[in-house]
Amino acid sequence: MDTIFLLFILLATTSAYLLWFYLLTRNLTGPKTWPLVGSLPHLFLNRRRIHDWIAGNLRATGSAATYQTCTIAIPFLAYKQGFYTVTCHPKNIEHILRTRFDNYPKGPTWQVAFHDLLGQGIFNSDGDTWLIQRKTAALEFTTRTLRQAMARWVNRTIRTRLWIILEKASKEHKSVDLQDLLLRLTFDNICGLTFGKDPETLSPEMPENPFAIAFDSATEATLQRLLYPGFLWRLKKIIDYGAENRLRKSLQIVENYMSEALEARKETPSDDLLSRFMKKRDIDGNLFPNSVLKRIALNFVLAGRDTSSVALSWFFWLVMNTPRVEQKVIEEIASVLQETRGKNPQSWIEEPLTFDEADRLVYLKAAIAETLRLYPSVPEDFKYVVKDDVLPDGSKLPAGSTVTYSIYSVGRMKSIWGEDCLEFKPERWLSTGGDRFEPPKDAYKFVAFNGGPRTCLGKDLAYLQMKSVASAVLLRYRLTVVPGHRVEQKMSLTLFMKNGLKVYLKPRELVSPPKAAVSA
């Protein structure tokens, strides 16, 4: 009798659970949701192509009420935390990033996971703490002196390091991993701009730099926290195990390096960002303490290093595979330099572009923007929902849940960018005459630099750095991918190339373009 009763209870409980699960998920769009395991089987099967999988799910949502929005159910989490709403609808993205900005902060999960590395820095804070740093940084990023400082760092690393490494590889007919070189270059530049200290990771010897290695290790270990329930990584932190052990050791090296940089700036102030923030005051009117200054600096290093180098890697790969675009980029650079430096092509490659010359490269900027449309450096971004809300397309978001806007998917929707959305076509960014860069009228069709109050402050500097580096490489060399090398995405929060970008370099023969070339 007891056995029958227990079987009855088990059957009733199972039936109740299945009914509850059915009612909960019957209106969900996106990947199939299974009892107990949710969308986990699909996530696992598509883990090596997660961004394309998300884009496919969003393309498959057909009804007006769920247009370009779907839900991914993650098991073993609290009810509201286990349902991730994913969208690429521009109106939804505008609603999240601008219209209801205060309702969609970074949130506790993200902030707690990144606190050890980034503290309350600008990219890991919300509310007043974020606002005071944002206002301070906004003032600094509009100054010409910061632009000039960036130009000095970029041109020095190109002239005294990048060109030397590429020339040696070209003469010896050896390949280089362009992604690795670009990561080193942008790391040196952003460190110089941020706290005036050059780690010199880009040099002919390709040295291992303790700070760079520790910074990479700390970033990777921090990202791993987002993959596990909070209690699990906290337990590993308490017992100092695995990634948490690596994080602790790496943070100590980072801390020591930043302390030295801060002391150096106190003794010899400069025009770097750290020196500028040392003069500013927090929301209470006090100077920023050392601990906060170091975290502010690290936030800028994290934001300024990976994004530009990853974008440039995909740019070079796309250009190598699109000769038409490569030719137009070269013609435009040659046309500008003929006006600024004369008709002798040798004078074009003796020095890197000045930022004023780079400013005139309209087609090149369009090609970089087109790269970011197809391969945004940050392919997905996440926001915490403070209060119950309804998105413009009718999707309901409960308080405490997570909403993801897929920047990668936006650029791959025919309904947003047209039938040719998968083509690498810089012309879509140009005016009818081809002489002006024209971003889309709907700004939220392109959020590679974020949007709303958190729009990237370094956007213009990033474009100038990328244009300078792209010109420095393409004017001197034709690039070809090493035969057999596989270019594929690395599944991380930043869209790295999993195997790097291994290329051969062949010297380019330059000729003066016709007088009226290039604005075509």
pLDDT in tens, 220-235: 888 888 767 677 888 9
pLDDT for position 78: 38
pLDDT of residue 379: 92
Answer whether 273's CB lies under 8 Å from 192's CB: no
Question: What is the pLDDT confidence band of residue 36, given thresholds at 50, 70 and 90?
Answer: low
Q: What are phi and psi of 504, to 5 degrees?
A: -100, 150
Token pair recorded at residue 344: 């002798």
Structural contact between residues 295 and 118, judged by C-beta atoms closer than 8 angstroms: yes
Percent of the chain at pLDDT > 70 equals 87
Residue-averaged pLDDT of the chain? 86
Q: What is the mean pLDDT of residues 202-221?
A: 88
Phi/psi region, residue 63 (left: phi>0; alpha: psi -120 to 50; beta: rest), is beta
Instruction: Check: CB of residue 93 under 8 Å from CB of residue 405.
Output: yes
Per-residue model confidence as pLDDT tens digits over 104-117: 998 888 888 888 98
Instruction: Report the Cα 35 to chain-centroid distance in Å.
Output: 35
Q: What are phi and psi of 479, to 5 degrees?
A: -105, 140
In sign, the C-alpha dihedral spanning 39, 42, 46, 50 is negative
Q: Is the dihedral of CA 410, 371, 354, 186 positive or negative?
A: positive
Encode 89-115: b = buried (16+ Cβ within 10 Å), e = exposed: bbbbbbbbbbebeebbbbbebbbebbb
Query: What does the domain layout of the chain look like in residue ranges?
Result: 38-99+383-426, 122-378+448-507
- HSE-CB at 268 with a 13 A cutoff on CA atoms is 6
Token readout for 141 is 């990023």
* pLDDT recorded at residue 233: 86
φ/ψ (deg, to 5) at 387: -125, 150
Residue 376, sorted as left (phi over 0), alpha (psi -120 to 50) or beta, turns out to be beta
* Fold category of 122-378+448-507 in CATH: Cytochrome p450 (1.10.630)
Burial 381-407 (b: 16+ CB within 10 A, else e): bbbbbbeebebbbebebeebbbbbbbb
- Residues 355-397 pLDDT 10s: 899 999 999 999 999 999 999 999 999 899 999 999 998 888 9
pLDDT of 20 > 60? The answer is no
Residue 74, classed as helix, strand or coil, is coil
The DSSP bridge partners found for residue 292 are none
Q: Is 503 helix (H, G, I), strand (E, B) or coil?
A: strand
| Range from 12-16, 219-223, 263-267, 356-360 carrying the lowest mean pLDDT | 12-16
Q: Does residue 421 have a known ligand-binding role?
A: no
